[in-house]
Structure 1
Amino acid sequence: MSLGRPRISVCGSINMDHVSYVRVAPGAGETVVGQGFHESVGGKGASQAVAAARAGGSVEIIGAVGDDTYGLLLRSSLMDAAVGTSGLRSIAGRTGMAHIVVDDQGENAVVVVPGANASMTGLTKVEEQRIALSDVFLTQLELPMTVVEAGLRAARGAGVKTVLTPAPVLTAPLTQTVLDYVDVLVPNIHEAEVLTGEPYPLKAAHALLDAVPEVVITLGADGCLHLDREGLPLWIPAFNVAAKDTSGARDTFVGAFTVARMAGRSVVPALRWASAAAAIAVQGQGATNAMPHRAEIDRLFAGTPRQRRPVD
């Protein structure tokens, strides 16, 4: 099946990422010598928007940058990635920043300074209308909870499908009032445990189904687990690749999965296609720099057999 071009609105954080690469991440009070450094578009909102656009979606982002040099650079970079920026506010002050350390295993540690992102406490009527015109709405928890809830509520009121990535999971309580507006919840294994108290992904997924109709738990190198109220749990293995930087993996997965599902693919090939996208992303460097385009995802997806089995 060929993929169409679904309309996707994303409300989320937009940061300038400062990424340092080290052999081993420093401990408290320790200084280490870096092996490399670069800057790139970051923030979970911008990352998911770029991932979805490169995967073939027609994407509009709702968020805020500062009136500094980084704000101008990020706006230009998003436009270059074919992300619509008419919903991107420019406010007096600093753009959001993220300081990221990536070790030789591809694992990362992140410090985020919200900057302009913290100004997003609600939505305008125009922004709500932009959400209402989309096929699916993506959001995360790096903006104030008031705007997260406002976006989800606007989408639900317009009959638009909603996808929530509950990260960072400890930002604010994720109430049932908010979850009532969510169609698909995409936590990682750590977030699933925090939300449910269950250390086992399958038990956590079943617990989350009490709150939302569909759950995808990302498991890093172990793949992902899908469960909804209609069928059996599905485990999709990850592609066997050598990871250099995992910082954009889940956002790549969410963007690609959303495009595939909204374009009409059934859940198993959509999950596998999204896993292929994430596998490509972790082999590069930077949250958005390494995100693949549709043709790249298609090549990896076509070259590896699809796999499916229930999780034990």
Structure 2
Amino acid sequence: MISVFGSANMDLVAYVAQAPKPGETITGREFRTIPGGKGANQAIAAARAGADVAFLGAVGDDAFGPGLRAALAEAGVDTAGLRVVSGPSGVAHIVVQDGGDNSIIVVPGANGVVTGPAGRDAEVIARSGALLLQLELPMDAVVAAAQVPRAAMSRAEVILTPAPAVPLPAELLEAVDLIVPNEHEAAALTGRDDPRDALEALLDLVPEAVVTLGARGVLYGSRDGARLHEAAVPVRAVDTTAAGDTFAGALAVARTEGADPARALRFASAAAALSVQREGASTSMPHRHEIDRLLEGL
């Protein structure tokens, strides 16, 4: 089982030819309301990729809350740990340009009042093969969740997507087994613009690291000396909004199934390649049979 301690947002997505400049008003071609949030996205990605998944987080008592819960449940995610708090759910305002590039403003809402694992959350995490974390919840809450496996003497692997990129406290890094930033987040965390240099700097902080490079593939490294560069699956991107979350969720599935690093990277890269060919966040994430079929054709 994979547990995900993270955010659930309703994505308010506008599709445009070109994002507006400051002070400019433009006309978009489409607007969609899509369940998202980095935590919920990763949970749905992992569930569709074949894992049993439990989501731990919060939504508000507004109109968006039931929709977020339903989207997780429809994907097969266990939502017993998704609690309801007073006030609005989290939202993300997303502008997607033709070609797939996007810009995002996240308003935390209910995510911002999560203080750490509650109720049976720690028990669920301790039973997991992997714990997926992101940084759309308060840092103290993320740290508290990350520390559960070792405190419980659990084998759960702690996988962190450091987004949005902010300075990471030592107590969090000490609890992380694998960090999965994109190249911009890796540069922000390490001060190294070259992704290979950033990878080496990340390995001073955590045992394993994957740096995603978009169309240029992914880099992997571990403290035992392993280094890999997996090429991206060549596709025409329509919307890259959930590519990183799809990659992280699928990567966790492959690793909990015992895949070696090269195989796990290929599996996650295939899932991400499928996702960027579709619009939306959770709505773009592929199912296991689609990932397997793509890998068979490579």
State the TM-score, normalizing by the size of structure 1: 0.93
Q: Which amino acid aligns with 2:109?
A: G
Whether 1:169 and 2:165 are equivalent positions in the alignment is: yes
Tell me the distance in 2 between the aligned counterparts of 1:301 and 1:41: 28
Aligned with residue 14 of structure 1, among 8, 15, 19: 8
- Structure 2 distance, partners of 1:122, 1:264, is 29
Choose which of 290, 293, 296 in structure 1 pairs with 2:287.
Answer: 293
1:76 aligns with 2:77: no
Q: Which amino acid aligns with 2:278?
A: G
Correspondence for 1:307 = none
**CA distance in 1: counterparts of 2:119 and 2:87, whole angstroms:** 24
**Structure 1: distance between partners of 2:86 and 2:214:** 38
Identity %: 53
Q: Which amino acid aligns with 2:281?
A: A
Q: What is the Cα-based RMSD across aligned positions, in Å? A: 0.9
The counterpart of 2:26, out of the listed 25, 29, 32, is 32
What per-residue deviation string (whole Å, max 9, x for no partner) do you get for residues 40-92 of structure 1?
11110000000000000100000000011110111111101101000001011
Distance 1:125 1:68 in 2: 22
SS at match of 1:19: strand
In the TM superposition, what are the counterparts of 1:121-136 in structure 2 within 5 Å? 121-136=115-130
* Pairwise CA distance, 1:269: 1.2
Structure 1's unaligned 5+ residue stretches are: 1-6, 305-312
Task: Output the CA distance in 2 between the equivalents of 1:262 and 1:127.
Answer: 20
1: CA distance, partners of 2:159 / 2:150: 11
- The letter for the 2-side match of 1:256 is A
- 1:258 shift after superposition: 0.7
Q: Distance in 2 between matches of 1:133 and 1:96?
A: 28
Structure 1 residues 194-228: Cα deviation after superposition (integer angstroms, max 9, x where no partner): 11111111111111111100000000111100000
Structure 1 residue 280: Cα displacement: 0.3
The Cα of 1:255 is off from its aligned counterpart by 0.5
**Which amino acid counterpart does residue 210 of structure 1 have in structure 2?**
D
Cα shift at 1:125: 4.6
User: What secondary structure sits across from 2:10 in the alignment?
Assistant: strand
**2:259 is equivalent to residue 265 of structure 1:** yes
| Counterpart residue identity of residue 189, structure 1 | E
Counterpart residue type for residue 83 of structure 1: V
Matched with 1:89 is 83
Question: Secondary structure at 1:289's aligned position in 2?
Answer: helix
With 177-186 and 122-131 compared, the bigger mean Cα shift is at 122-131
Matching residue of 1:202: 196
Q: Does the residue aligned with 1:240 lie in a helix, a strand or coil?
A: coil
Question: Residue type of the partner of 2:16?
Answer: V
Q: What is the DSSP-based 3-state SS (H/G/I as helix, E as strand, rest coil) of the residue aligned with 1:110?
A: strand
Counterpart of 1:263, as a letter, is E
1:223 to 217, 222, 243: 217
Name the CA distance, whole Å, in 1 between partners of 2:93 and 2:147.
32
Q: Which runs of 5+ in 2 are unaligned?
A: none
Q: Distance in 1 between matches of 2:168 and 2:179?
A: 12
What TM-score, normalized by structure 2, do the two folds share?
Answer: 0.98
Q: Which residue of 2 aligns with 1:236?
A: 230
CA contact (8 A) 1:156 1:162 kept: no
